[in-house]
Structure 1
Amino acid sequence: MTNSLFFEPGIDEKIDNAFAPIANAWESLVLTSIPIAEGKNMPIVVLFLVLGAAFFTIYFGFINLRKIPFAIRVVKGDYDHLDQHEAPNDPLLNIVDGDIVDTIKDESKDGEVSHFQALATAVSGTVGLGNIAGVAIAVGIGGPGATFWMIVCGLLGMTSKFVECTLGVKYRDIDASGTVHGGPMYYLKKGLAENNMATLGKVLGAVFAVLCVGASFGGGNAFQSNQATQQITSLFQLEGGAIKTIIGLIMAIIVGIVIIGGIKRIAQITEKIVPFMALTYVIASLVIIGFHWRFIDDAFGLIFSQAFNPQAGLGGMLGVLIIGFQRAAFSNEAGAGSAAIAHSAVRTKYPASEGVVALLEPFIDTVVICTMTALVIIMFNQDSVFNYGGEGGQVVLNSTGKSIGGVDLTAAAYDSVIPHFSYALTIAIVLFAFSTMISWSYYGLQSWKYLFGKGKTADIVYKVLFLLFVIIGAAAKLDSVIKFSDAMILALVFPNMIGLLLLFPKVKAELKKYYEAIKE
Structure 2
Amino acid sequence: MNELIKTFSDYAWGLPLVILLIGGGLYLLIYSRFLPFRFLGHAIQVLRGKYDNPEDSGEISHFKALTTALSSTIGMGNIAGVAVAISVGGPGAMFWMWVSAIIGMSTKFFTCSLAVLYRGKDSAGNIQGGPMYFITEGLGKQWKPLAILFCIFGMIGALPVVNVNQLTQAINDIVLIPYGFEVGLQSNLILAIILVSITALIILGGLKRISDTASKMVPSMVFLYFILVLFILISNYEVVPKYFMMILTDAFSAENYKGEPFYGGVLGALILLGIRRGAFSNEAGIGTAPMAHGAAKTNEPIREGLVAMLGPAIDTLVICTLTALAILVTGVWHTTTDNGVSLTASAFSHTMPVYGKYLLMICVATFSISSLFSYSYYGTKCLSFLIGADKKHYYNYIYILSIILAATTPFSMMLNLIDGVFALMAIPTMIATLMLAPKVIKEFKDYIHRMK
Which TM-score bucket, shorter chain as reference?
A: over 0.9
Q: 1:146 aligns with which of 77, 93, 107?
A: 93
Q: Tell me whether 1:424 sits opposite 2:347 in the alignment.
A: no
Q: Tell me whether 1:248 sits opposite 2:196 in the alignment.
A: no
Counting only pairs closer than 5 Å after superposition, residues 326-405 of structure 1 correspond to structure 2 as: 326-381=276-331, 385-387=332-334, 397=336, 403-405=337-339
Q: How many residues align?
A: 440
| 1:163-220 deviation per Cα after TM superposition (whole angstroms, max 9, x unaligned) | 0000001111356988442200000011001xxxx32x20111100111001012xxx
Match of 1:190 in 2: 137
Decide whether the 8 Å contact of 1:120 with 1:267 is kept in 2.
yes
Q: Tell me whether 1:227 sits opposite 2:166 in the alignment.
A: yes
Secondary structure, counterpart of 1:321 in structure 2: helix
Match of 2:418 in 1: 485
Match of 2:451 in 1: 518
Q: Which runs of 5+ in 2 are unaligned?
A: 260-264
Q: Tell me whether 1:30 sits opposite 2:2 in the alignment.
A: no
Decide whether the 8 Å contact of 2:8 with 2:420 is kept in 1.
yes
Decide whether the 8 Å contact of 2:167 with 2:364 is kept in 1.
yes
Q: Quote the Cα distance in structure 1 between the aligned partners of 2:25 and 2:320.
A: 19
Q: 2:111 aligns with which of 161, 164, 168?
A: 164
Q: Quote the Cα distance in structure 1 between the aligned partners of 2:384 and 2:431.
A: 22
Match of 1:56 in 2: 28
4+ residue segments displaced more than 6 Å: 175-178
Match of 2:340 in 1: 406
Q: Tell me whether 1:287 sits opposite 2:231 in the alignment.
A: yes
Deviation at 1:231, TM superposition (A): 0.2
Decide whether the 8 Å contact of 1:350 with 1:510 is kept in 2.
no
Q: Tell me whether 1:453 sits opposite 2:388 in the alignment.
A: yes
Deviation at 1:27, TM superposition (A): 1.8
Higher CA-based Rg: 1
Q: Tell me whether 1:127 sits opposite 2:60 in the alignment.
A: no
What amino acid is the match of 1:499?
A
Q: Which runs of 5+ in 1 are unaligned?
A: 1-18, 34-42, 86-106, 388-395, 398-402
Q: Quote the Cα distance in structure 1 between the aligned partners of 2:9 and 2:78.
A: 21
Kindly tell me: are residues 446 and 177 of structure 1, through their superposed partners in 2, closer, same or farther at Cα, counting changes over 3 Å?
closer
Q: Quote the Cα distance in structure 1 between the aligned partners of 2:199 and 2:285.
A: 27
Secondary structure, counterpart of 1:74 in structure 2: helix
Secondary structure, counterpart of 2:338 in structure 1: strand
What amino acid is the match of 1:230?
Q
| 1:117-140 deviation per Cα after TM superposition (whole angstroms, max 9, x unaligned) | 000000111111000000000011
What amino acid is the match of 2:163?
Q
Deviation at 1:368, TM superposition (A): 0.5
Counting only pairs closer than 5 Å after superposition, residues 238-317 of structure 1 correspond to structure 2 as: 238=181, 239-312=183-256, 313-314=258-259, 315-317=265-267
Secondary structure, counterpart of 1:269 in structure 2: helix
Deviation at 1:84, TM superposition (A): 5.2
Query: What TM-score comes out, normalization by structure 1 length?
Result: 0.82
Match of 1:118 in 2: 65
Decide whether the 8 Å contact of 1:165 with 1:339 is kept in 2.
yes
Decide whether the 8 Å contact of 2:66 with 2:307 is kept in 1.
yes
Q: Quote the Cα distance in structure 1 between the aligned partners of 2:125 and 2:45.
A: 27
Decide whether the 8 Å contact of 2:118 with 2:133 is kept in 1.
yes
Deviation at 1:152, TM superposition (A): 0.9
Secondary structure, counterpart of 1:78 in structure 2: coil
Match of 2:158 in 1: 216
Decide whether the 8 Å contact of 1:50 with 1:156 is kept in 2.
yes
Deviation at 1:386, TM superposition (A): 4.6
Q: Quote the Cα distance in structure 1 between the aligned partners of 2:333 and 2:30.
A: 40
- Identical counterparts, % of pairs: 37
Kindly tell me: are residues 127 and 386 of structure 1, through their superposed partners in 2, closer, same or farther at Cα, counting changes over 3 Å?
closer
Aligned-residue CA RMSD in angstroms? 1.7
Kindly tell me: are residues 502 and 240 of structure 1, through their superposed partners in 2, closer, same or farther at Cα, counting changes over 3 Å?
same
Deviation at 1:323, TM superposition (A): 0.6
Q: Quote the Cα distance in structure 2 between the aligned partners of 1:488 and 1:168.
A: 21
Q: Quote the Cα distance in structure 2 between the aligned partners of 1:140 and 1:318.
A: 17
Q: Quote the Cα distance in structure 1 between the aligned partners of 2:450 and 2:125.
A: 25
What amino acid is the match of 1:281?
Y
Q: Quote the Cα distance in structure 2 between the aligned partners of 1:288 and 1:154.
A: 24
What amino acid is the match of 1:50?
I
Normalized per residue, the structure richer in helix is 2
Deviation at 1:51, TM superposition (A): 0.3
| 1:6-42 deviation per Cα after TM superposition (whole angstroms, max 9, x unaligned) | xxxxxxxxxxxxx6366335324423x3xxxxxxxxx
| 1:349-375 deviation per Cα after TM superposition (whole angstroms, max 9, x unaligned) | 111110000000000000000011000
Match of 1:97 in 2: none
Kindly tell me: are residues 305 and 54 of structure 1, through their superposed partners in 2, closer, same or farther at Cα, counting changes over 3 Å?
same
Decide whether the 8 Å contact of 1:330 with 1:490 is kept in 2.
no
Kindly tell me: are residues 325 and 453 of structure 1, through their superposed partners in 2, closer, same or farther at Cα, counting changes over 3 Å?
same
Decide whether the 8 Å contact of 1:79 with 1:518 is kept in 2.
no
Decide whether the 8 Å contact of 2:124 with 2:389 is kept in 1.
no
